[in-house]
Amino acid sequence: MQLTRFADLGLRMLMYLASARPEHDQPVTIAEVGERFEVSHHHLVKVASLLAQTGWVKATRGRGGGLRLVRPPEQIRMGEVVRVLEGEGGLVDCDRPMCSLRGVCRLRGVLDEAQQAFFAALDRHTLADVVAGTSAAGLARLHLHRAEPVAR
């Protein structure tokens, strides 16, 4: 099982926003996130849009605008985030193309059980948990150059 690139970028963006130091009181721009993670602006705009729709992130346009985390990281469950970013569809689609074993195969049930266990494990952790410790140190290094203008 592997997360989509979209979910990966969404998780990275949330982690970066959660680790932004509030004393700067500066929103984080999409260009900044793109530069720090070496990701295209185009991909991040889509991710930021969905994160804003969920209410986890506030996106402000214009000069001085950018992204800010709305909810405290302690209130954002990782399972909830991955469900939204990945969607809650099953791991296999027995309808397209129509599977010859449909109705007699137990694979889908086993995979659904495994997926539920995966989300249950993620639900035990918050965004605050994943940005703590060594992740915090790595994210702090990314933030060191925040005061410098980001190339566009």
- Cβ burial 138-147 (10 Å sphere, 16+ → b, else e): ebeebbeeee
Residue 22 structure tokens: 């509030």
Q: Examine residue 47 and state whether it is found in any structural domain, yes or no.
A: yes
Q: Examine residue 151 and state whether it is found in any structural domain, yes or no.
A: no
Q: Examine residue 66 and state whether it is found in any structural domain, yes or no.
A: yes
Q: How many domains does the chain have?
A: 1
Q: Look at residue 146 and tell me whether its pLDDT is greater than 60.
A: no
- Tell me, letter by letter, the H, E, C secondary structure of the chain: CCCCHHHHHHHHHHHHHHHCCHHHCCCECHHHHHHHHCCCHHHHHHHHHHHHHHCCEEEECCCCCEEEECCCHHHCEHHHHHHHHHCCCCCCCCCCCCCCCCCCCCHHHHHHHHHHHHHHHHHCCEHHHHCCCHHHHHHHHHHCCCCCCCCC
Q: Examine residue 148 and state whether it is found in any structural domain, yes or no.
A: no
Q: Residue 109 is part of which domain span?
A: 5-143
Q: Examine residue 150 and state whether it is found in any structural domain, yes or no.
A: no
CATH of residue 69's domain is 1.10.10.10
Report pLDDT digits (tens) over 35-83. 888 899 998 999 999 999 999 999 988 887 889 999 999 999 999 999 9
pTM assigned to the model: 0.83
